[in-house]
Amino acid sequence: MKPDVHKDFSGDWRFYFPEEMVSVMDDYYESVEQIDHDEDLAQVGLNKIIKIFPECHIDAYNHLSISNRNQSKTEQALQYAITAYMIGMDSFPISFNHDEDKLIWLILENRPFLRTLQILGLEFMRRRDLVRAESLFLKLILYNPNDNQGIRYLLAEIYQYTKEKRKLKALEKEYSGEDLLLEVFSWEDRIL
C-alpha cells in the first residue's frame, strides 16, 4: 500500500492514504505525544506503525526523525527524513508539475509531506548543506505559497548566514516588507 497524489473534486492536488491507516491512528497519536517525554517509547510505537505501513505512513517517519534528532542520533534522524521524502516523492503522478502545481497546507492530507520537506531541510541546515536546504525550502514555498510553516524565516536565516542580501531583500519584498530577520536571531543559535 502506498499513498498517491491526485486532484480532488475541487481541482486541488492532495495526498490520498490507504483507508487501512485509520486502524493505527490512535497508536500514532499516542506515540507522537511521547516525543520530548519518553523518546524510546515514542520510537517503539512509531516503529510498530512502520512495520504495518512501511511504504505509506509518512508522518511516522517524520516523527521518528524528530525523536531521533532529540536524542542526538543525527544519522538516524536524517535517514528517517529521507525515507519520508522518498515515499512522498514516489506518490506524485507524472502529470504533477513540481514547478507550478500547489499542495496547500489547508488540505490536512498534504501536511505530512509538507512537514517532510521542512524536517529534511532542517536536517540539511544542521549539516551546513545550505544548498540542499534552500532547494527544499523553496520547493515548499512553491507548493504552499501561504507559507503556513514559516519557511520564509528559515530561508532568511540561510540568506543572512551566506550573506546573500539580494535574495533576502527579494524574500522580504515577496512577504510585503516583513522584517524576516527578527526571527533569524532566535533560530541562528540553534541551527546555524
Instruction: List, for residues 177-190, the tens digit of each pLDDT value.
Output: 666 665 555 544 55
If asked whether residues 129 and 104 sit together in one domain, one would say yes
Size of the chain in residues: 192
What is the residue range of 94's domain?
A: 4-147
The yes-or-no verdict on residue 23 having pLDDT over 60 is: yes
The reported pLDDT for the residue numbered 155 is 93
If asked whether residues 169 and 134 sit together in one domain, one would say no
Pick the more confident residue, 187 or 131: 131
| Cβ neighbours, 10 Å, residue 103 | 25
If asked whether residues 82 and 52 sit together in one domain, one would say yes
The yes-or-no verdict on residue 21 having pLDDT over 80 is: yes
If asked whether residues 35 and 126 sit together in one domain, one would say yes
If asked whether residues 100 and 129 sit together in one domain, one would say yes
- Paired with 4 in beta bridges are 16
The reported pLDDT for the residue numbered 176 is 77
Cα 17–chain centre separation? 17
If asked whether residues 104 and 188 sit together in one domain, one would say no
Virtual torsion, Cα 85, 87, 88, 94, nearest 10 deg: 120
Percent of the chain with pLDDT over 70: 92
The yes-or-no verdict on residue 130 having pLDDT over 90 is: yes
What pLDDT digit, counting tens, does each position of 61-115 carry?
A: 999 999 999 999 999 999 999 999 999 999 999 999 999 999 999 999 999 999 9
DSSP string of 24-92, one letter each residue: GHHHHHHHHHHTTT-HHHHHHHHHHHHHHSTTT-HHHHHHHHHHHHHTT-HHHHHHHHHHHHHHHHHT-
How much is the pTM? 0.91
If asked whether residues 109 and 70 sit together in one domain, one would say yes
Distances (CA, A) of 192 to 15, 117, 127, 129, 136: 32, 18, 9, 11, 17
If asked whether residues 115 and 188 sit together in one domain, one would say no
pLDDT band at 172 (very low <50, low <70, confident <90, very high): confident
Distances (CA, A) of 155 to 66, 79, 106, 134: 20, 23, 22, 6
The reported pLDDT for the residue numbered 177 is 62
If asked whether residues 47 and 119 sit together in one domain, one would say yes
If asked whether residues 105 and 172 sit together in one domain, one would say no
pLDDT band at 1 (very low <50, low <70, confident <90, very high): confident
Answer yes or no: are the C-beta atoms of 150 and 162 closer than 8 Å.
Answer: no
At 160, list the grid cell. 543572512
pLDDT band at 13 (very low <50, low <70, confident <90, very high): very high
The yes-or-no verdict on residue 192 having pLDDT over 60 is: no
d(CA 75, CA 55): 20
Count up the domains in the chain and report the number: 2
The yes-or-no verdict on residue 175 having pLDDT over 90 is: no
What b-and-e string marks burial along 48-77, b requiring 16 or more CB atoms within 10 Å of the CB?
Answer: ebbeebeebbbbbbbbbbbbbbeeebeebb
d(CA 149, CA 126): 18
pLDDT mean across residues, the chain: 91
If asked whether residues 48 and 131 sit together in one domain, one would say yes
If asked whether residues 182 and 141 sit together in one domain, one would say no
The domain that contains 79 carries what CATH number?
A: 1.25.40.10
